[in-house]
């Protein structure tokens, strides 16, 4: 039999659980949030793929570059939130039952490479600010990191930052192709998982 003291001790923990459960019911489902994140990332990746800093400055000067920098800050914020959710709860996606052994392995690698690749881009962006000779500010207002004036390291990090972004773009293409193949060849409705419900009738 549970003693009154034990019940009293459990009281705050039970109340905390009830509050968390109440908030969990109010918040959108994890997969719904990931759908929004997924489709928000697509235009952002395309933007940074073609709109390099030199192109941005050539098109609109410093004002346009400030807008570009704010877009980058938005991109990094979503990336870090997604990465934190992955570290806390793991992948939301699971390999479908129709996938062969190699497909399951590919599913495992592709999703993790995407999330870690996005984090790597954010990390090297931070390192660019850290090794810079001047204080860089995301969006023109948020300091990225204290500048350590490491010219050679800054040049190396800059090259890595660009290189890894194009590798990430390649992974995105393979990722999309893999799920299209699943949907068409295996008929496991893979595309319906991440597409809005309104589009399911076309898939």
pLDDT in tens, the chain (203 residues): 555 555 455 666 666 676 767 766 777 788 888 889 999 999 999 999 999 888 998 988 888 989 999 999 999 999 999 999 999 999 888 888 899 999 999 999 999 999 999 999 999 999 999 999 999 998 888 999 999 999 999 999 999 999 999 999 999 999 999 999 999 999 998 888 888 888 888 88
Tell me the residue range of the domain where 161 lies.
Answer: 29-202
Beta-sheet pairing, 142-143 with 137-138: antiparallel
How many domains does the chain fold into? 1
Across the chain, the runs of DSSP E, i.e. the strands, are 137-138, 142-143
The answer to whether position 54 is within a domain reads yes
The answer to whether position 7 is within a domain reads no
The answer to whether position 82 is within a domain reads yes
The answer to whether position 71 is within a domain reads yes
The answer to whether position 14 is within a domain reads no
CATH for 74: 1.20.950
The answer to whether position 12 is within a domain reads no
Interior angle at CA 129, CA 124 and CA 131, nearest 5 = 90
Sign of the CA dihedral 143, 144, 145, 149? negative
Q: pTM of this prediction?
A: 0.81
């Amino acid at each position: 039999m549970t003693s009154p003291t034990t019940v009293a001790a459990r009281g705050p923990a039970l109340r905390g659980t009830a509050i968390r459960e109440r908030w969990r019911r109010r918040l959108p489902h994890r997969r719904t949030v990931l759908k929004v994140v997924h489709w928000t990332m697509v235009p952002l990746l395309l933007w940074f793929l073609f709109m390099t800093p030199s192109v941005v400055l050539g098109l609109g000067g410093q004002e346009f570059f400030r807008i570009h920098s704010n877009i980058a800050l938005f991109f990094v914020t979503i990336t870090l939130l997604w990465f934190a959710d992955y570290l806390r709860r793991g992948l939301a996606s699971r390999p479908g039952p129709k996938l062969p052994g190699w497909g399951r392995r590919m599913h495992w690698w592709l999703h993790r490479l995407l999330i870690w690749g996005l984090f790597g881009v954010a990390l090297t962006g931070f390192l660019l600010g850290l090794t810079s000779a001047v204080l860089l500010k995301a969006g023109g207002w948020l300091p990225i990191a204290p500048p350590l004036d490491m010219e050679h390291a800054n040049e190396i990090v800059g090259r890595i930052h660009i290189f890894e972004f194009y590798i990430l773009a390649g992974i995105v293409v393979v990722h999309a192709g893999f799920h299209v193949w699943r949907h068409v060849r295996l008929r496991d409705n893979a595309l319906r998982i991440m597409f809005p419900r309104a589009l399911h009738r076309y898939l």
